[in-house]
Amino acid sequence: MKIALAQLNSRIGDLAANEASHAAAIARAAELGAELVVFPEMSLLGYPPRDLVERQGVADSCAESLARLATLVPDSMLALVGLPVPSTGRPLANAMALLRGGRVVGFAHKQLLPSYDVFDEDRHFTPGDRTVVVDHAGERVAVLLCEDLWQAGDARGVRRYARDPLADAAVQGATIAAVSSASPFVAGKDARHVELLSMRARACGVVIASCNAVGGHDDLVFDGGSRVVAADGTVALQCARFAEDLRVLDTASRVRTPVSPSRTHAGLDPGVHTDLDAERFHAIVLGTRDYLAKTGHAKVAIGLSGGIDSALVAAIASAAIGGAHITGILMPSRYSSDGSVSDALETARILGLGRTETLPIDAIHRGIESTVEGKFSTNGLAGENLQSRTRGLLMMLASNATGALVLTTGNKSEYAAGYATLYGDMNGGLAPIGDLYKTEVYAMARMLNARFAEFGFAQPPIPAASIDKAPSAELRPNQTDQDSLPPYEELDAVLRVLVDGEGSVDDAVRVTGSPRELVLRIARMLDRAQFKRDQAAVILKLTPRAFGRGRRYPIAQGWGWSR
């Protein structure tokens, strides 16, 4: 059988654009003689639709688009298209429509509905009660959706399902399992998926054709990497990662036909080895580019401090949309060093930023101090936050005046510890590095400088001084981050246990070797800062436990870490 994997970047809710991309893929697959075309999960509406799926008219409009697509599918082809369909129980099911010979010939409903991390499918959908297997072109084709195959195999601490739809398919004599997925990016997960696909193909004795979504959708990034795995567990076909792609495999001869219609990103060619830093960089770039494109923004504004965080965010934005579309804003205070200004200007020069403005904040700072004199103190934390909020005010002014989206520059270590100012440096629409610990920020910056050409830069993009100097918010004389925080190596090691592993204080003490009092201090900072994180910009998810929709903690709570 000739199998086509149509790895699309859908825009949630944009049915006209999504229908057009499906139609183009069906036409191209037909030209290449494909007999089976597999699209990603919920490909027609976009995934995850969240509560949009329940808005009146959405499911009906999807059905109308589907009917038009069905007329494009010849008798020789079976096309699998994802969409919500009416159901009993809850109003909808997460389904794949089976299109053949100009009509819709059936539906397969997703059977295993994840309700962990960012997933909330049980909120909207009724689970399917059977595995659909159809005869086509001399094969028995099973139609499965995402979790039906993965079964939370890459999720930590999730209760396993009682049913196994892929094993059910094998019992029904399936020779090919067509799996439509929308599995969000997590660093390192693609390699685990290859292992899982190979193991499951061998165990069930079926060919698995797995098509994964690609693109950024709010906080989530989908990295593609669709593939066909033979019944012996070998990878017979693989699509690009981080880019749209369409590829065809003849399972009889193993002849591969690549057709790479990527419109937005060069992506990674199949088989290219990537380390975790490189994976994260590609994911952040794609997530940033798509967030801007899908929200209608063509340019961004970034506060350039001369530090490593803002330099890395500027490099990411440059890779996503080009330096010409970036405005860098320097906002020196009475405490800013000459090096901070020169390092920020060097970032702008290296990346070729389209516009750079210097807006000193001292006059505003002194004006507010004069306004509140004798009424409110501006000493200590109040004065430091005043400076940060002055910068936040200017950034949002620049956004309103130019239409540019503000990218925040905070990292996961700062968000975890509360070392960030609401309505100040947290202002903005997207936090590209909000799921990178500070030590990972340094690692990514050094990697980009060492391998700059590989990522499309003409020279090392991060000024060496921004990497080498001690990190500082420069809100008081001679300040460094380590005046308020433990060394980042120690802080990040503890946070990986408390946040990523949901471990206890005892766990963190045992794993890191840090003193118990230090771990308790970090744990309390983590809980106290929840109210800030609940008001943070959208954070691109790179890890299993990113701050945001997948980590839902109460703000007002009395749990004691010393328990």
85 SS3 class: strand
The whole-angstrom separation of Cα 324 and Cα 404 is 12
* Answer CATH for 2-270 from 3.60.110.10, 3.40.50.620, 3.40.190.80, 3.40.50.410: 3.60.110.10
**Structure token digits, residue 413:** 């270590």
pLDDT at 195: 94
25-to-6, 31, 182, 328, 541 alpha-carbon distances in Å = 6, 10, 18, 40, 29
| Angle, alpha carbons 515-520-441 (nearest 5°) | 85
Task: State whether the Cα torsion 224-228-234-236 is positive or negative.
Answer: negative
Task: Name the active-site residue from 2, 19, 35, 146.
Answer: 146
CA distance 73 to 26: 7
DSSP string computed for 114-167: --STT--GGGTBPPP-S-EEEEETTEEEEEEETHHHHTTTT-TTPPPPS--HHH
Task: Assign 106 to helix, strand or coil.
Answer: strand
Query: What spatial distance separates the first Cα and last Cα of the chain, rounded to whole Å?
Result: 60
- Residue 482 DSSP one-character state: G
* Residue 150 CB contacts under 8 Å (≥ 6 apart), including other chains: 181, 183, 193, 196
pLDDT of residue 262: 41
Other C-beta atoms lying within 10 Å of the C-beta of residue 495: 26
Domain boundaries, the chain: 2-270, 281-482+530-539
Confidence at residue 235, expressed as pLDDT on a 0 to 100 scale = 95
Q: Pairing mode, if any, of strands 235-238 and 227-229? A: antiparallel
Q: Which residues pair with 98 in a beta bridge?
A: 80, 106
- The answer to whether 136 and 251 have CB atoms below 8 angstroms apart is no
The residue from 19, 35, 41, 121 that is catalytic is 41
Rounded Cα distance between 239 and 190, Å, is 12
Q: Is 239 a catalytic residue?
A: no
146 is catalytic: yes
Per-residue CA distances from 386 to 148, 366, 368, 410, 491 (Å): 52, 10, 9, 18, 26
Cβ-based neighbours of 415, under 8 Å, separated by 6 or more: 431, 434, 529, 532, 533, 536, 539, 547
pLDDT at residue 67 in the model? 98
Neighbour count for residue 288 (Cβ, 10 Å): 25
Order the strands of the 326-330 sheet from edge to edge: 355-358, 326-330, 300-303, 405-406
Q: Kind and range of the H or E element at 519?
A: helix 516-528
What CATH number belongs to 281-482+530-539?
3.40.50.620
Q: Which residue is catalytic, options 2, 19, 62, 110?
A: 110
C-alpha gyration radius of the chain:
25
Is the pTM above the cut of 0.75?
yes
User: Which ranges of the chain have pLDDT less than 70?
Assistant: 153-159, 254-274, 562-563
Tokens encoding 64 = 């109308």
* CA-based nearest residue to 22, from 71, 73, 85, 69: 69
pLDDT at 477: 84
Nearest to 11 by CA among 61, 40, 41, 45: 45
The question of whether 454 is a catalytic residue gets the answer no
